[in-house]
Amino acid sequence: MEKNAKTYCFVTNLAFSEEPTVKNRLMPYISQTIEKGHNVILVTTDLKPLDDFDSSFFTHILQPCQSNRPRSFIKRAIFEWVEARKILKSLVDLDVDAIVLTIPSMFLLFNAFILKNQKLFLDVRDLTWEYLPSSKPLQLAAKIFFRVLANMSFKHFRSIVVTNEAEIEYFKRKNIDTLLYFNGITKQQFQDLIAIPVKKQGNFTVSYVGKVGLAQNLETLVLAAEKLKDVNFNIVGYGPECAKLEGIVLTKKLTNVTFYGNVGWTDVVDFYQKSDVLYAQLQDSFSGAMPSKLYQYLNAGRFIIYGGGEQALKKLAGFSHNIIIRPDNIKELIEAIETVRKTCTKELCFKDNITKIHDSYVRENNVDKVLLKWGEI
């Protein structure tokens, strides 16, 4: 134990077991904080505690909630508001050096005033209220209201950490300084991915790995598969759109699309190894986000096709062996896949991509910089 050991409390109103992207974001925080001799308290809505860390330095507080969150926009907002307040109220008298509230839960941010007597840090994975569509009156009204609440709430935090350059600019326009922690890959993931050999045989395969939700709109991929019957398509992951997509595949009797659900990391690496193309997409309303899976894709030594714009487009422009198309565009996706099939050899060199990932996007290295700054506050 360090002589000046501190205790940090990381808070989310989501469950690691259900939201791997949240777990991937917070685990390096926890591991690096403990490595530096500090103590960590983690608050999540899981049913079972993590057993990855020494209990002498790590405590996992469970705040289980209703497993089936309401699907109605208004009912879900009310549910998450009440849930966030309940979690934060339970931490008012917690004896810690700092509490780190984490977004994507905007309702933790909006209720941060409950912990006004604590030292607060904010970790921003996504500016979720900004993704609400402006085309629907209810969501537009909510977006405007949530913007007001967010602007009122930022003042409660001593430090704000963001995930990409677009978020830095967002806060800069508000005269708020931020720290940057990219949603990259862990040291172990880096080592596992650089060990993937060149694919030399087998059917041409396109794989998607990640959440299967509205933002990704993987119906585009499925409908492209309908036109490319001699290409195998893997959808690895789970989300609210899975049942719909499986129904489309069943109705169209597509035999070249396979759903695998959530799988462990070893299996993810195996899917990368068997793929010729790794695909991802975010619809226009999410263009300010950078899918964390793209960092894995870039490290895996495979060609990337990405449907989307703005932040991810700017990021991918600094790397080679990728094609960027408009989101939800089946024709462009088919053309991109055909281009890769016809023009790209198996022996493409991905060394520059891998070097850039190593130098700038290893999560633990970025977290270390954040912790250094926090230690000075």
Q: SS3 for 132-155, per residue?
A: CCCCCHHHHHHHHHHHHHHHHHHH
Same domain, 215 and 331: yes
204 occurs within a structural domain: yes
Same domain, 220 and 317: yes
Strand order of the β-sheet with 120-124 is 58-62, 39-44, 7-11, 98-103, 120-124, 159-162, 179-180
Same domain, 165 and 195: no
Same domain, 153 and 254: no
Same domain, 123 and 202: no
Any idea which residue has 């023009």 for tokens? Answer: 343
What are the start-end ranges of the E strands in the chain? 7-11, 39-44, 58-62, 98-103, 120-124, 159-162, 179-180, 205-209, 232-236, 257-261, 277-281, 303-307, 322-325
Half-sphere exposure for 68 (CA within 13 Å, toward CB)? 2
| pLDDT at 345 > cutoff 80 | no
pTM of the model: 0.87
Q: What percent of the chain has pLDDT over 90?
A: 81
Same domain, 180 and 192: no
Same domain, 59 and 201: no
21 occurs within a structural domain: yes
Instruction: Copy the structure tokens of residue 19.
Output: 């939201």
CATH number, domain of 95, equals 3.40.50.2000
How far is it, in rounded angstroms, from Cα 91 to Cα 229?
Answer: 55
Same domain, 117 and 196: no
pLDDT band at 70 (very low <50, low <70, confident <90, very high): confident
Instruction: Copy the structure tokens of residue 196.
Output: 């993937």
Same domain, 34 and 165: yes
pLDDT band at 304 (very low <50, low <70, confident <90, very high): very high
* 170-191 per-position pLDDT tens digit: 999 999 999 999 999 999 999 9
| pLDDT at 284 > cutoff 90 | no
Same domain, 197 and 285: yes
pLDDT for 346 equals: 59
Number of domains forming the structure of the chain: 2
332 occurs within a structural domain: yes
What's the domain range around 197?
187-359
